[in-house]
Structure 1
């Protein structure tokens, strides 16, 4: 396919898969429960953080996190007590355990009390072309409180050559707005043009088959290459093609 044919093909797949009917089978269903901005972003952040492995297990365990917080994540983050935190000890999703979740709750409270919230932290160090430096700076803020070093593995750093798939997915959810109302578009201080595709096994393999990506590893260098290719197709909303790449890989076994 030439570039025009490729764009037409992928645009058709975006229309097919960027549909609200897919919310019910995707982890994004968790933040879609809420209407308060802070509830949405906290539910989305915690869900994105555990989004690796079996999708049904991700959704099940994200539901458990919301249940632990009384299905009022922002209120829980801001007003929890030590006894409520103790109830999180038994949570586990693969290598993300109750101790990790307890720290994440404390750190989120710190961010909302002292850094004006998640959106403000990501917006503070943004660059025009990309949010990868913002992600790296966010990680520094997130781990300002005393913590066990092992917990840091749950937030990837693009400056350490990570594709940071889960954080980029979270940012897509928060920043990108679309007529299908899958992504929320509630963060107005950032633009969809700055977003990067959540690069994983599925999107990476499809991107390589389509000639959008040549690098074999799914790392920060591969993400930059993929971003460059997708921005040529649509400079204002490049990550809309995440729907196409994911749908082709997961649903069509492309």
Structure 2
């Protein structure tokens, strides 16, 4: 994408609020759950199971949603659908359960190391939420992006983890969009949602960034909310800043609107399109 894109002014962005709010209401409803990887958080009653299953679901949310759901279900089946118990009691001999597992670039060795790291986190911090809270506090104290600290502390549990496994957990220091990690936090942080569970409270929803994928970015550029042409961390910041003009307390909810517009048969109504060439 080489053409220069037009950006809406702050006042013009605010005028989009009724339109985008309507799309949030249309998309963010219980029926959304059945066809989205978030369903794996809803499948459990225990909070720790929800957080761990959700982490794997979000980490593997790469590609078509139906395929992601099938692969996550396969992986959780290999843990007897008891993620907390399996991870807490994991021994290297249990890695044989992952033999034959594959999703995109995820291989059995990656799943083994992700489980070993999560086991160390649970043993040291007591819960996955407490680990996130530690990372958030350290990021705040050092004025660093949360996902930079998360990646750093996650792999500090097992520095010997292979480089290939490290690539499956985003790092804002490398200017990644951190889409899957912020998707996970959207599920876990946003409250009073028919889709997102809101079971972690170490940070407010106002601090969430948009989970930026190619489809959301395309709709955002068409609407004039995003002018950066690469889907990187700077694009995430630009788009989230625009969405905070619409709802500073809950900018990530507009992920539903942009997603919905992307899959709608009619797409964005012509009167709202500012950059038609991106569609």
What is the TM-score normalised by the length of structure 1? 0.94
What is the CA distance between 1:4 and its match in structure 2?
A: 4.1
Q: Does 1:142 align with 2:151?
A: no
- Give the corresponding residue for 1:71: 81
- Give the corresponding residue for 2:272: none
- Give the corresponding residue for 1:229: 242
Q: How many residues align?
A: 251
Trace 1:43-122 onto structure 2 (pairs within 5 A).
43-122=53-132
Query: Cα–Cα, structure 1 residues 207 and 132, in superposed 2: closer, same or farther, change >3 Å?
Result: farther
CA distance in 1, matches of 2:119, 2:102: 21
The CA deviation string for residues 129-184 of structure 1, in whole angstroms up to 9 with x for no partner, is xx97221111112212121111111011112111110001001111011242x101
Specify the SS of the correspondent of 1:35: coil
Q: Does 1:216 align with 2:212?
A: no
- Maintained 8 Å contact 1:124/1:134: no
**Which one has the largest radius of gyration?**
2
The CA deviation string for residues 167-217 of structure 1, in whole angstroms up to 9 with x for no partner, is 01001111011242x101000121100100100111100011111111010
- Give the corresponding residue for 1:160: 174
CA distance in 2, matches of 1:217, 1:71: 38
Q: Does 1:174 align with 2:199?
A: no
- Structure with the greater relative contact order (CA < 8 A, sep ≥ 6): 1 or 2? 2
CA distance in 2, matches of 1:82, 1:45: 21
Q: Does 1:193 align with 2:206?
A: yes
- Maintained 8 Å contact 1:165/1:199: yes
- Maintained 8 Å contact 2:226/2:235: yes
- Maintained 8 Å contact 2:177/2:231: yes
Unaligned regions of 5+ residues in structure 1, if any?
none
Give the aligned CA root-mean-square deviation in angstroms: 1.7
- Maintained 8 Å contact 1:197/1:227: yes
CA distance in 2, matches of 1:201, 1:132: 25
Q: Does 1:124 align with 2:137?
A: no
Unaligned regions of 5+ residues in structure 2, if any?
1-7, 269-279
CA distance in 1, matches of 2:89, 2:81: 14
